[in-house]
């Protein structure tokens, strides 16, 4: 196969795009996809301050580098979860990456805030990943709002989005289906959230990270159950193999026809939000779920100690 741009031998084959690219042209394809996502979905402009959530994995670092190279005003935000061994390594990768590219980075430490994830694992009965995810989303939003950022960008790729959409569809979870998409508009207490990599697959993002020489944190989290959409991703991998382009079509069709219908349904049932009495984040209860979890862990630890 030859590179569709320059006719040199292709390095990466992309059946869903009926094309292939050489090493030099592939990053241009990647850039184009990100540009298209930002422009068509009106994600942000060059005047906006963009906070980028950085886990240390390939997707978030690839996104940060690409937005920086395109000239956007980006700041990285890493949440140090306080998980022994794992969190130090992830943080180091993010810090090294930002140093290397001269990028501004903010680090938020869960341990200093009073609730490292090992405490969640030890004291909360719910699955640790559900609580960890909730905590991360809470702090991403809070820090973006408090820092006056216009938008929060995350490295979710097409595979992540399709797997999540599929899981939401299997449950016909109308609340999640009404919200899912590459852009979640700003609302009272919530910053706008965007996913500029939603047109690119995990394979395509990994290729970009590799070609750009990005050093990523690839060790799995020691608390990962392995269940997080892995089965759905495998299923979709099979469908995509049989019929290249299926994933993108499924997602795009949902955005066009499914999402507006679910959004209209939810509009009628949506809860009203007010600031949390503890932290000020928007919530439908008096205190938000994150503050309630933190208080419950504090109580449980006190009980154990005394
Ligand atoms: S960090 Fe947190 Fe993940 Fe570890 S505890 Fe689960 S959610 S697996 S992306
Ligand atoms: Zn709160």
Nearest CA to ligand 1 atom 5: 129
Nearest CA to ligand 1 atom 1: 221
By the 8 A CB rule, do 33 and 42 touch? no
Counting ligands in written order, which one lies closest to the CA of residue 132?
Answer: 1
- Crossing angle between the packed helical segments 289-305 and 128-146, to the nearest 10 degrees: 120
Share of the chain above pLDDT 90, in %: 91
For residue 128, the ligand 1 atom closest to its alpha carbon is 5
| Region at 148 (left for phi over 0; alpha for psi -120 to 50; beta for the rest) | left
Q: What is the pLDDT of residue 226?
A: 64
Which domains does the chain carry? Answer: 24-216+244-270 (3.40.50.620)
Share of the chain above pLDDT 70, in %: 98
Nearest CA to ligand 1 atom 6: 129
Q: What is the pLDDT of residue 58?
A: 97
Query: How far away, in angstroms, is 297 Cα from ligand 2 center?
Result: 14
Q: Which of 78, 77, 109, 100 is nearest to 91 (CA)?
A: 78
Q: What is the pLDDT of residue 191?
A: 97
Greater confidence (266 vs 205) lies with 205
d(CA 297, CA 303) in angstroms, rounded, equals 10
Counting ligands in written order, which one lies closest to the CA of residue 128?
Answer: 1
List pLDDT tens digits, range 167-179.
999 999 998 999 9
What average pLDDT does the chain have?
95
Query: How far away, in angstroms, is 106 Cα from ligand 1 center?
Result: 20
pLDDT category of residue 265 using cuts at 50, 70 and 90: confident
Q: What is the pLDDT of residue 227?
A: 60
Q: How far is CA 138 from CA 8, 202, 219, in A?
A: 47, 25, 24
Q: What is the pLDDT of residue 32?
A: 98
Query: How far away, in angstroms, is 92 Cα from ligand 2 center?
Result: 29
Counting ligands in written order, which one lies closest to the CA of residue 287?
Answer: 2
d(CA 2, CA 66) in angstroms, rounded, equals 25
The binding-site residues of ligand 1, defined as CB within 6 angstroms of any ligand atom, are: 81, 117, 128-129, 132-133, 221, 223-224
For β-strands 151-153 and 192-194, DSSP reports them as: parallel
Q: Interface pTM (ipTM) of the complex?
A: 0.98
270: pLDDT strictly greater than 90:
no
Using DSSP, state whether 52 is helix, strand or coil.
Answer: strand
Strand partners, 2: 9
- Greatest mean pLDDT among 196-200, 222-226, 229-233: 196-200
Q: What is the pLDDT of residue 160?
A: 96
List pLDDT tens digits, range 105-159.
999 999 999 999 999 999 999 999 999 999 999 999 999 999 999 999 999 999 9
| Mutational pocket test of ligand 1: of 57, 83, 133, 218, the residue with most ligand atoms within 8 Å of the beta carbon | 133
Query: How far away, in angstroms, is 277 Cα from ligand 2 center?
Result: 7
List pLDDT tens digits, range 56-107.
999 999 999 999 999 999 999 999 999 999 999 999 999 999 999 999 999 9
Tell me whether residue 271 is exposed, middle or buried, using C-beta atoms within 10 angstroms of its C-beta: 0 to 12, 13 to 18, 19 or more: exposed
236: pLDDT strictly greater than 90:
yes
Nearest CA to ligand 1 atom 7: 129
Instruction: Name the percent of the chain in helix, strand, coil, to the closest 5.
Output: 50, 15, 35
């Amino acid at each position: 196969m030859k590179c569709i741009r320059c006719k040199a031998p292709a390095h990466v084959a992309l059946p869903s795009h009926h094309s292939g690219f050489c090493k030099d042209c592939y990053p241009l394809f990647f850039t184009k996809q990100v540009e298209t996502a930002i422009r068509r979905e009106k994600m942000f402009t060059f005047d906006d301050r963009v906070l980028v959530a950085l886990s240390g994995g390939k997707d978030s670092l690839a996104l940060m580098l690409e937005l920086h190279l395109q000239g956007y005003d980006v700041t990285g935000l890493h949440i140090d979860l306080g998980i022994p061994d794992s969190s130090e390594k992830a943080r180091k990768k993010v810090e090294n990456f930002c140093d290397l590219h001269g990028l501004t980075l903010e680090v938020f430490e869960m341990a200093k805030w009073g609730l490292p994830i090992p405490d969640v694992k030890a004291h909360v009965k719910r699955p640790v990943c559900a609580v960890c995810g909730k905590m991360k989303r809470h702090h991403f939003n809070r820090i973006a709002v408090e820092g006056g950022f216009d938008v929060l960008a995350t490295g979710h790729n097409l595979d992540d989005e399709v797997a999540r959409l599929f899981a939401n569809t299997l449950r016909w979870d109308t609340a999640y289906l009404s919200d899912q998409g590459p852009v979640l508009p700003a609302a009272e207490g919530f910053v706008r959230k965007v996913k500029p990599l939603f047109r690119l697959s995990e394979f395509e993002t990994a290729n970009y990270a590799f070609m750009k020489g990005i050093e990523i944190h690839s060790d799995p989290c020691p608390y990962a159950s392995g269940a997080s959409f892995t089965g759905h991703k495998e299923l979709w991998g099979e469908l995509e193999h049989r019929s290249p382009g299926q994933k993108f079509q499924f997602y795009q069709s949902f955005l066009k026809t499914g999402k507006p219908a679910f959004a209209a349904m939810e509009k009628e049932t949506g809860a009203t939000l007010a600031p949390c009495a503890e932290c000020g984040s928007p919530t439908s209860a008096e205190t938000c779920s994150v503050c309630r979890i933190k208080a419950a862990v504090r109580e449980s630890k006190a009980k154990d100690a005394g």
